[in-house]
């Protein structure tokens, strides 16, 4: 795109003008058709032109839809080059940087995420917990950059959100370790990227400048960083920190990557987010509401697993959002957080979930939460009621998630454990409930093998519960 001509037009028309928008939109259509290999550039231009079209024509104008459609069709798809079966690990990686969320600090090893009672603290700052010498040594390449800040008298962890602690680690590592900034990560679409190249767009930063709340938060972070000896003396350093502040908190497409922020979970309790992490390798995958693969974490390992047979040449997709919501809610979430306009997946296009009554589903979930979560502890008899209620949810989950999905597995597993508990409490004669539970066992076992794999801790937890049958 000829940016000189654009500048020239902007000068003549004083910034925004329908003619400038028209020129930009036409150029974008040509550009998008010819530049199929540069997702980051495509994003930069899309965001820029979007601002113009929104100002001069508004989001209801057909030109806006045309812009979004061009953008979507130009996005690179990751197609598999070999046939995959359900349960295959497509790729496996580790996050480039991670931190333990505040609520779990001291319960898990800061380096390997192992849960342990006897964790050893960093003798200097007393802020980091490790399961052993090896983990401490391995983490030192990151921690050495932040240890001094943690030692400061005014450093109190509760003053910071987990995201801000991650920002601190990311920023100081970038500043003090050139190899961290320039290490290249291969994306699945064949391109590669290093942190140094990730630049949040000016437009996003400008939006942030006008958001008082975000700026107050940023200024607070700067003030603390300064107090802890992380020098933010000149505007350039502040600008750089703002870039990473926006990177961690803004919508992924603003940096030309689609989905890089990961929650690592503790499977002992199913879904607690123990750790926040950034990994780039899978950030070129597109979204589908009926994904054929899913990202599953196990400790610090991040796996992309096939959920069904994927023939050669088919696009590999994941879901960016919660899938247990209606099409309109999904579209809203995708648009707001991921810049995905009008999801074109099969499920959305063919209304494959038109038979799912999301309202009834939401009501059941609410009833489950409000009526039983606390009651079960107090009244053991409520387990059977809880069992029959939560079993009503299973058909919904099956319709929502398809044949296999990690969330469906976790739900089936929870349901089977509830049924087992309920049967135990009812202490019915063994022959009455054993066959049903064995069926459950077989189903969950089969799902676990595909969505999580036999090495996953969930497998162990499930087996330990059921082996007592």
Shortest Cβ 337–Zn ion spacing (Å)? 14
Smallest Cα–Cα separation from 78: which of 348, 315, 296? 315
Nearer to Zn ion, 78 or 348 (CB): 348
Shortest Cβ 288–Zn ion spacing (Å)? 6
Assign 445 to helix, strand or coil: helix
Q: At what angle do helices 18-34 and 3-13 cross, to 10 degrees?
A: 170
Contact call for residue 289 and Zn ion (CB under 5 A): yes
Q: What angle do CA 292, 330, 362 make, to 5 degrees?
A: 105
Q: Which residue has the tokens 């066959």?
A: 435
Region of 161-169, 283-291, 375-383, 424-432 interacting with Zn ion (CB under 5 A): 283-291
Smallest Cα–Cα separation from 75: which of 183, 187, 185? 187
Q: State which of positions 337-376 bind Zn ion (CB under 5 A).
A: 343, 345, 348
155 CB-contact burial (10 Å; exposed 0-12 / middle 13-18 / buried 19+): middle
Contact call for residue 125 and Zn ion (CB under 5 A): yes
Assign 294 to helix, strand or coil: strand
Nearer to Zn ion, 42 or 300 (CB): 300
Return d(Cα 424, Cα 438) in angstroms, integer.
14
Contact call for residue 136 and Zn ion (CB under 5 A): no
Long-range CB contacts (within 8 A, 24+) of 270-273: 270/410, 270/414, 271/410, 272/104, 273/101
Region of 20-28, 127-135, 199-207, 375-383 interacting with Zn ion (CB under 5 A): 127-135
Task: List helix spans (H) across 35-81.
Answer: 39-56, 62-74
Contact call for residue 80 and Zn ion (CB under 5 A): no
Return d(Cα 163, Cα 220) in angstroms, integer.
14
Which listed residue (1, 54, 72, 112) binds Zn ion by CB under 5 A? 112
Return d(Cα 60, Cα 58) in angstroms, integer.
6
User: How many of the chain's residues bind Zn ion (CB under 5 A)?
Assistant: 14
Contact call for residue 302 and Zn ion (CB under 5 A): no
Shortest Cβ 299–Zn ion spacing (Å)? 9
Region of 71-79, 140-148, 316-324, 435-443 interacting with Zn ion (CB under 5 A): 140-148
Region of 147-155, 218-226, 264-272, 459-467 interacting with Zn ion (CB under 5 A): 147-155
Contact call for residue 165 and Zn ion (CB under 5 A): no
Nearer to Zn ion, 57 or 152 (CB): 152
**Per-residue tokens: 202:** 């000016």
Region of 145-153, 161-169, 177-185, 312-320 interacting with Zn ion (CB under 5 A): 145-153
Which listed residue (147, 181, 248, 365) binds Zn ion by CB under 5 A? 147
Nearer to Zn ion, 343 or 412 (CB): 343
Contact call for residue 242 and Zn ion (CB under 5 A): no
**CB proximity list for 448: less than 8 A, separation 6 or greater:** 409, 413, 454, 456, 458, 459, 462
Which listed residue (36, 82, 124, 442) binds Zn ion by CB under 5 A? 124
Region of 54-62, 119-127, 432-440, 453-461 interacting with Zn ion (CB under 5 A): 119-127
Which listed residue (44, 101, 135, 204) binds Zn ion by CB under 5 A? 135
Residue 48 C-alpha from the chain's centroid: 25
Sign, CA dihedral 424-429-434-436, equals negative
What residues make contact with Zn ion under the rule CB under 5 A? 109, 111-112, 114, 122, 124-125, 131, 135, 147, 289, 343, 345, 348
């Amino acid at each position: 795109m000829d940016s000189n001509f654009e500048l020239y037009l902007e000068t003549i028309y004083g910034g925004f003008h329908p003619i400038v928008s028209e020129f930009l939109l036409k150029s974008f259509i040509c550009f998008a058709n010819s530049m199929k290999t540069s997702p980051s550039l495509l994003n930069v231009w899309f965001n820029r032109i979007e601002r113009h079209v929104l100002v001069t024509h508004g989001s209801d104008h057909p030109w806006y839809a045309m812009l979004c459609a061009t953008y979507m069709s130009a996005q690179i798809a990751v197609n598999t080059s070999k046939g995959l079966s359900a349960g295959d690990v497509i790729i496996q990686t580790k996050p480039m940087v991670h931190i333990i969320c505040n609520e779990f600090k001291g319960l898990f090893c800061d380096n390997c995420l192992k849960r342990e009672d006897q964790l050893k603290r960093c003798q200097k700052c007393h802020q980091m917990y490790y399961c052993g010498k090896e983990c401490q040594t391995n983490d030192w390449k990151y921690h050495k950059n932040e240890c001094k800040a943690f030692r400061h008298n005014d450093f109190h962890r509760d003053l910071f959100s987990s995201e801000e602690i991650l920002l601190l680690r990311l920023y100081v590592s970038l500043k003090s370790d050139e190899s961290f900034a320039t290490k290249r990560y291969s994306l699945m679409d064949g391109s590669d990227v290093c942190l140094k190249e990730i630049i949040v767009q000016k437009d996003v930063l400008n939006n942030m400048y006008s958001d008082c709340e975000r700026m107050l938060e940023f200024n607070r972070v700067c003030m603390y960083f300064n107090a802890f000896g992380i020098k933010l003396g000149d505007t350039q350093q502040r600008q750089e920190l703002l870039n990473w502040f926006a990177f961690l908190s803004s919508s992924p497409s603003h940096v030309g990557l689609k989905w890089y922020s990961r929650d690592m979970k503790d499977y002992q309790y199913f879904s607690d987010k123990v750790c926040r992490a950034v990994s780039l390798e899978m950030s070129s995958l597109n979204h589908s509401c009926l994904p054929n693969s899913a990202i599953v974490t196990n400790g610090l390992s991040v796996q992309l697993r096939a959920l069904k047979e994927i023939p050669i040449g088919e696009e590999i997709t994941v879901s960016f959002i919660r899938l247990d919501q209606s099409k309109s809610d999904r579209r809203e979430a995708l648009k707001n957080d991921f810049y995905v306009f009008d999801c074109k997946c099969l499920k959305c296009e063919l209304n494959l979930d038109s038979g799912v009554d999301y309202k009834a589903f939401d009501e059941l979930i609410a009833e489950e939460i409000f009526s039983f979560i606390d009651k079960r502890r107090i009244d053991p008899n409520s387990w059977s009621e809880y069992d029959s209620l939560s079993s009503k949810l299973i058909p919904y989950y099956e319709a929502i998630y398809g044949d296999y999905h990690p969330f469906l597995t976790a739900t089936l597993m929870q349901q089977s454990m509830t049924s087992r508990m309920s049967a135990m409490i009812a202490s019915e004669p063994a022959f009455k409930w054993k066959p049903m539970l064995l069926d459950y066992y077989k189903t969950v076992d089969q799902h676990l093998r595909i969505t999580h794999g036999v090495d996953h801790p969930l497998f162990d937890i499930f087996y330990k519960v059921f082996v007592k049958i």
